[in-house]
Each structure stands twice: as C-alpha cells, then as structure tokens.
Amino acid sequence: MSEIQLPAAFETQMIDLLGTEEFLQFKKAIDLHSKTSIRFNTSKPVKKDWVKKTISWSEQGYFLEDRPSFTLDPSFHAGAYYVQEASSMFIDHILKSIESPKGIYLDLAAAPGGKSTLLSGYLGDEGWLVANEVIQSRAQILKENVVKWGLGNTVVTNNDPEHFSPLEGFFDLVLVDAPCSGEGMFRKDPQSRNEWSTDHVTLCELRQKRIMDQAGALVKAGGYLIYSTCTFNTKENEDMIRFLTDEFSYEPVRIPLNSAWGIRETQVEQDGKIYYGYRFFPHLVNGEGFFITILQRSESGYSQEAKRIKDFKHPFLKEIPDRESLSLDEELGFDGQGKYYSLNDSFFRIQKDWNLHFQKLSQHLSLKYFGVELGKKQKKDWIPTHEWALSNLPKNGFEKWELNESDAIEFLRKNEIELQGLPIGWVLMTYQNLPLGWIKNLGNRINNYYPKEWRIRM
C-alpha cells in the first residue's frame, strides 16, 4: 500500500469525473501493485515459460504473473519483446480496426520507443516510420530500442515539432503521445503524486496545444491522427479534441470495444459531430491510466507527395548510385530492393520503395539513425556493426555460434568466455537462435564487440 497521499485538488477533479462512489474504487485501485506487461516481436520468435495472460486488445501483448529479471534475459537484449504498459498497446487494436493504410507514419514524441516499435511492427516491409524525439539523450534510448526491434523500416530524428512544418500533409498517420501531467502513473510511480499541481496541468495543456498546432497539419487528406496521454483530466484530453477540431478539418472515428475490456468511451460534441475518446481507469482495467483518440483528416485536407530530387545533396550523407546499391544487395544476399547511403565510410541500407520519402525527410530533419547500418567495407571484407547483427537482414558469409544462457549473459557483460572450437574471424553470437552481437576470433585472442554502453552492469 502506498503512503503517499493524493493532492486534494486532484481528488476533487476525479470526484467530478467519476462521482464519489466510483472515485473510492479508483482510489483503492491505485494503491495496488501494477501488473507487468510485455509485447512480443513477431519477427524474433522466442519460447518463454512465463505464466502469462493475453491482453485482449493486443495480439502480441501479455500480462505476466510475476516480473522476471529482464536485464538478465538475453532474449530481451536481442529484441524478442518490449516491456510496455498494457493500456498503450490499445494502439494495436486501433490500427487493425481502421485497417490503417500502410505508408509513411510519424511518431512525434517517440522515446523510449514502445509505441514506435508497435508501429514499426504493424508497417513491416510495407511502410516507413519516422520516430522523433525532441530531447537528445532520449533520442539515443529511442535509437537503441529501434535497433533492437530489428525491422530496418525506421528513421530516428531529433527535432522540435516546429521543424516539421515543411512536411505539412506528408504523413499517412501521425501519433502524438503527448507529454502530460502523468496522473495515469500514480499507481506505477506513487512519487509522481507529489509533483502534481493544477498549475502543472495548465502548463501541460499549453505545451500540448503548441505541439498539436504543428502535428494537426502534418496528416495528409484521408490520413489519421492519434493523440494520447497518460492522464485523466479533461483539459489535456477532451479539451484537446475540441482544440484540434477547431483548428483543423478532422472527421470522427469510432473504435469498436468489447464491454468486458473495461475501457470507457467518452464523447465530445463539436460543430454538430460526435468525436470519440477512450479512457483507461486502473479500477476498470489491468493497465495504467490512459486516454486516446483517433481522428481522420478530411479529404479536403492538403496532401504532399515525395518527389524526386534531381541532385541529392546532404552535408553528411552520400547517396550510393542505384546500380552500386543493387550490387551491394546481391553481394550480401539481400532481396535486391535496397538503397544505400554512406556516412563516415559506413554503409546504411533502406528499402528503395521509401527512398524519395527518406530524401525529403533528410532535407528538413536531424537524422540520428535510419534503416540498418551495415558497417565499413575493406576491399571484399566487411567490418559489421552491432546494428546489422540485431537486424532481420541476412548475415550470409558469417559463422554463427549458439550460446547457452550463462555464456550469453557473460557476453552481454563483455566478460571473457571460453568457447572451444570457435571459428576464426567474425562470428555472430546467438541465443535461442536470436542474434546478440559479434565476436572476432583472432586466433590468439577473442574480441567482444558488444557495445560498451549497452553492456549489462547488474
């Protein structure tokens, strides 16, 4: 039980929202323990003996009976699953309910990457995701999680929402999980109760309006805008629907619900139309507090398509010509659909279907990572990257070595391990057939190339 009291003004706000009797149920629920939930990566199948229960609104989401040590699970570091709050996995149900067209998506406030990896998984080879984070240190964490997920269909950017203004009408879907007052985290993080105030709610509302004033323009005609918060108050939720539909031409979208889920639909009437939001209360669902709404840009909205840039120029990136890109794809045993760029002599690969979009983005945004970085080439030999190891791209020509759990953990700690009979040269370390990273056997010694900043310190 938590000993941290709820602020009086917050209690009044919640009584207004729920009524006195239901508020008491809510208050009791937020002093109970949160349930741990994870979402599996379908491209990296793994067997787990965890006692788990499906999350009804997410095909790959599960509640765990007990919280294992994820830090000491090699398959976690391989990107086989993501530890994500259950309520936010409702985005999976939204995408499938509206059969959202796969194209170019934007996650505008993406760190640490839970929603980005969900979007990336939905898009697969049929789309391209821009995962943006305004805070540089958080953009690095976002990049790590995108790399672990391994799909190579994402560009990580580090930009303020204002920097996206040249990309008005460019995206098929824009997701904004807005920075908020965090009321929905009062169970998971009781300390956050001490940081709450009505002034902070007002500050968050103003920040959200600034973000959404930019984000609302980025969706192309017929595209979708998803707005979410982890808070309960109407200022940051229903009032934001009013703000958006006042500023931009959006149509309502209603998502089917199963009453057994405990998700509460809310309605906002605006200009003779009913818009819908979805509220997650911890006394009604196993997840944390959450609010989400989805709107569709009217067909009269502006659309901007990616056009060929005659002479692509970038201060850091060098475009590899199409013929050479095809040769690289053939050499590496890929599918022949790659387009390559080099940065500091290291080769990056994206799917060529999204090359025009990528070039457009690169003219306006600060790129932190994109596609899959393969590494440097010395004559016919490759110096492979950790990013390539964790990607779903083939690693033809490299030996593999399956590690048991204890050796895998030692590898992830960058400790020395005895591996009798290890082939000479670059060797891909795997655990349960999931790539973990590279070792180079020089004969007289073995070098562990697991990134120093990623190593297990536990």
Query: Tens of pLDDT along 158-205?
Result: 999 999 999 999 999 999 999 999 999 999 888 899 999 999 999 999
Q: List, by residue number, the catalytic residues.
A: 230
Pair 227, 292: CB distance under 8 Å:
yes
Question: CA 437 to CA 78: how far, in whole Å?
Answer: 9
**What's the CATH architecture for 8-297?**
3-Layer(aba) Sandwich (3.40)
Question: CA 229 to CA 403: how far, in whole Å?
Answer: 41
Mean pLDDT of 346-370: 97
245-260: pLDDT as tens digits = 999 999 999 999 999 9
Question: CA 42 to CA 116: how far, in whole Å?
Answer: 15
224 bridge partner residues: 173, 296
Q: What is the pLDDT of residue 318?
A: 97
Residue 401, SS3 per DSSP = strand
Mean pLDDT of 121-133: 97
Question: CA 354 to CA 195: how far, in whole Å?
Answer: 43
Question: CA 265 to CA 89: how far, in whole Å?
Answer: 16
Mean pLDDT of 212-224: 98
> What is the percent of the chain where pLDDT is above 90?
94
Q: What is the pLDDT of residue 311?
A: 87
Pair 375, 386: CB distance under 8 Å:
no
Mean pLDDT of 16-23: 97
pLDDT band (50, 70, 90) for residue 3:
low
Average pLDDT over the chain reads 96
Pair 197, 246: CB distance under 8 Å:
no
Mean pLDDT of 110-124: 98
Count of CB atoms within 10 A of residue 326's CB?
Answer: 18
Pair of tokens at residue 310: 């005659």
Least Cα distance to 227 among 153, 152, 290 occurs for 290
Q: What is the pLDDT of residue 379?
A: 86
C-alpha Rg value of the chain to the nearest Å: 23
Q: Do domains 8-297 and 398-458 have the same CATH topology?
A: no
Pair of tokens at residue 203: 């500050």
pLDDT band (50, 70, 90) for residue 458:
confident
Pair 47, 432: CB distance under 8 Å:
yes
Q: What is the pLDDT of residue 1?
A: 43
411-420: pLDDT as tens digits = 999 998 989 9
Q: What is the pLDDT of residue 4?
A: 80
Q: Is the torsion defined by CA of 51, 55, 56, 58 positive or negative? A: negative
Question: CA 100 to CA 88: how far, in whole Å?
Answer: 17
Count of CB atoms within 10 A of residue 25's CB?
Answer: 13
Mean pLDDT of 14-38: 95
50-100: pLDDT as tens digits = 999 999 999 999 999 999 999 999 999 999 999 999 999 999 999 999 999
Mean pLDDT of 101-127: 97
Pair 371, 350: CB distance under 8 Å:
yes
CATH pick for 398-458 out of 3.10.450.720, 3.30.40.10, 3.90.1150.10, 3.30.200.20: 3.10.450.720
Pair of tokens at residue 119: 């979007």
Residue 230, SS3 per DSSP = coil
Say whether pLDDT at 2 is over 60. Answer: no
pLDDT band (50, 70, 90) for residue 352:
very high
Domain limits, the chain: 8-297, 398-458
264-314: pLDDT as tens digits = 999 999 999 999 999 999 999 999 999 999 999 999 999 999 999 888 999
